[in-house]
Structure formats: structure tokens, C-alpha cells
Structure 1
Amino acid sequence: MIRRIVVGITGATGSIYALRLLKILSTLSDIEVHLIVSSSGILTLNNELSIKINDLHSLVSIVHNVKNIGDVLASGSFRIDGMLIVPCSIRTLSAIANGLSDNLIVRAADVSLKERRRIVLMVRESPFNLIHLRNMISVTEMGGIIFPPMPAFYHQPSSIEEMVDHTVIHAMRLLNLDVSGPVWKGI
């Protein structure tokens, strides 16, 4: 059975998480990946990783235009199995928390929340002020999962790639995707 996962990429720093997520998802034969990238996300991908949006096309099933608010992802009748916004800017978090569906990333997130589907927001700006925290609480109360990408060290990573993989795999597991990675074994 094919599972549909929507990935939104916004302009917050952390494009490395998005790229790694897409690379891992592309290895899973039972996943149909739907990608939406904001205009700021395109700029950040280029700035941080020197890649263009076209470089991501081979890693996904379908690329959706962030400006097309009439896209299939804007409707609850289009079934998906989960959504990740990686990285998630504070602007996108705020729009989701307040129901301001002015682009397809925010509208697809709104649909995920209203249809009670899993959605993970890798909020990637800090420090947080009170407005940020209240918006995180609002999204959490609506059923979303706030998952700031924070590196873990218990698995003794030897590279940035291993730290990124650990974070991305943890986020994927929150969508009930079965991927292997470090597991805490206790002391």
C-alpha cells in the first residue's frame, strides 16, 4: 500500500534536514512524496546547500506550486498519511497557528489539522519569544507536533551527517514511518 507524505520546505535555516529527509524518503518504495517549497525555501536551499529546486525533483513523486491554493493538497478529500514541514519558519508556524492559509504549505497544514492527520513542524529559529511559544502551544493543541531539530549525542555521532540523520529519522518515526536509526539502549 502506497503512503502519501507531504513535505513542506520553508525559508528557515536548516535546509540540510530537508534534503536528507527527501533522500531517505526516496529510498522507501511504499512512499509517494509530495513536495511544496516556499520562495524563501528556494533561496535558503541555494544559500545553504548551493542547490536549486530542480535538484530535488528526482527525490520526490510530485512537486506542487506553493502559490496554487487550488491544488489537490488544499482539500481534505485528497488523502495523505502525514506532513512534515522541514525546516519550519516562525512565519509559517504563525500562519498555521492562526489559520492564515495564504500559500499551499500553510493550507495543506491547515487541512492536515482539520482532518486530524499527523503533522510535524521542525521549527527552526531560536531563541523563542512568547508569541512563538504561544503559537507552538496552539498548533500542539490542534494536534500538530512541534519538533525543533536539536542534535542528540547519546549515540555518539561522528559527523554532522549522523546528527542530521538522527533528527530526521526521529521526525519520520513521528509519522509512523519505519526507518532504522539509533535507539537508546540505556546505561
Structure 2
Amino acid sequence: MKRIIVGATGASGLPLLIDVLRIIRENADDGWRSTLILSDSSQTTLQWETGLSVSDVRELADDWYEPTEIGARPASGSYPTAGMVVVPCSMKTLAGIHSGYAENLLLRAADVTIKEQRPLVLCTRESPLSPIHLRNMQELSSIPGVRIMPPVMNFYGHYTSIEEMTYSIAARLLSPFGITASGYQGWEGLEER
């Protein structure tokens, strides 16, 4: 079994979380499982952006924990995971990860992921970026295994809907773990067109 901790914060971008969980579920036959931690703020944004309830989203995950469960299994390096993705990752959460301020389970799980040298993908969401945001991202990106992956769209995929674009970004967020999304088509080179 290959488990990914999936954290979500209150930043805009919760449709990406839904696709990330669905893609992990699509890869269950390859042993992939998800452990979900929704911050309190994400639960508010979730309803606004997706129309889904917290229980709807928890059903997409294999396991889930409340952010207040600081003593739960993901708070320990002995909890075996392939790494963690935070999607979306607010600047507040980014700052907490950057400073090691593990005040809740989501921040503690990210802290553990770094200390255990497992992959940590941060789908940072903010615009414009302040010098503080950029400094936090730059310093975190210098840690082996930490990837800063804002939800940047591409145009070479010739997407016809926002849903296709969202799926593409979600697929790219999971690529560092070796997960392949069935509906994702990456760059094939100009000679293929």
C-alpha cells in the first residue's frame, strides 16, 4: 500500500482537491490510498467553491482526520506514507510549514513529511505574491523533496473546459509520486502535432 496524506486549506482551489482525491482513488488497484486532513477554513471554502459537503469529500478519501487530532497517526514519522500534498496551500499554512509551527495535524503532518525526507508538494495559492510569500516558498523549495507547485495552467493541452484544466493541474500535482492520471496528456513535443 502506498499512502499519500492530502491536506487542504481555506485558500481558493478546492476543485483541485476533489480531482486529486479522485485520481488517487482511480489508482487504488496500484495500491494508492489517501489520508485526508481538511483545515477548518477549507471546510468553509469547500462548500462555496464546489457545492459539496465535508462528508461528500471525506467519502472520496480512504481515511480522514480532523485538524485538531494532533495525536493522530499522521503526526508521527512511524505512519508510513509516500509523502504529502497540500492542495490548495494558503500562505498562512505555507508560513506555518516554513517556520515549523505545527499547531494542528495538517501542519504537523507536513513537518513530519519534511523531517522524514518524504516528498511534500505544496499547491500554493495567492496572487500577487508578496516578498514574504516568495521568501517562504524559496526557502522551502531548497529542502530536498519539497516542491512548490502553484496551480499554473498550460495552453498546449487545448482544454475545452475549466474541468479539463483542473484535472490536468491535479494530475501534475500527483506526478512527483509516480501516479498517472488516466485522462492526463502531458507535453508530447511539437513534432507530434
The residue type equivalent to 1:174 in the other structure is P
Give yes or no for contact 1:119–1:175 (8 Å, CA) kept in 2. Answer: no
Q: Distance in 2 between matches of 1:12 and 1:97?
A: 17
What residue in structure 2 maps to residue 13 of structure 1?
12
What residue in structure 2 maps to residue 145 of structure 1?
147
Instruction: Give runs of aligned pairs for residues 3-152 of structure 1, distance below 5 A.
Output: 3-29=2-28, 30-143=31-144, 144-152=146-154
Q: Distance in 2 between matches of 1:16 and 1:45?
A: 8
Q: Distance in 1 between matches of 2:27 and 2:176?
A: 16
The residue type equivalent to 2:32 in the other structure is I
Q: Distance in 1 between matches of 2:109 and 2:36?
A: 11
Instruction: Give runs of aligned pairs for residues 163-174 of structure 1, distance below 5 A.
Output: 163-174=165-176
State the 1:54 CA deviation: 0.3
State the 1:52 CA deviation: 1.4
Q: Distance in 2 between matches of 1:39 and 1:142?
A: 27
Deviates more, 1:136-145 or 1:159-168: 136-145
Q: Normalising to structure 1: TM-score of the pair?
A: 0.96
State the 1:137 CA deviation: 1.2
Structure 2: stretches of 5+ with no match in the other structure = none
Q: CA RMSD in A?
A: 1.0
Query: Runs ≥4 in structure 1, deviation > 2 angstroms?
Result: none
State the 1:112 CA deviation: 0.4
Identical positions, percent: 38
Deviates more, 1:169-178 or 1:71-80: 169-178
Deviations 1:19-65 (A, max 9, x none): 11111211222112100000000000011112111011221111111
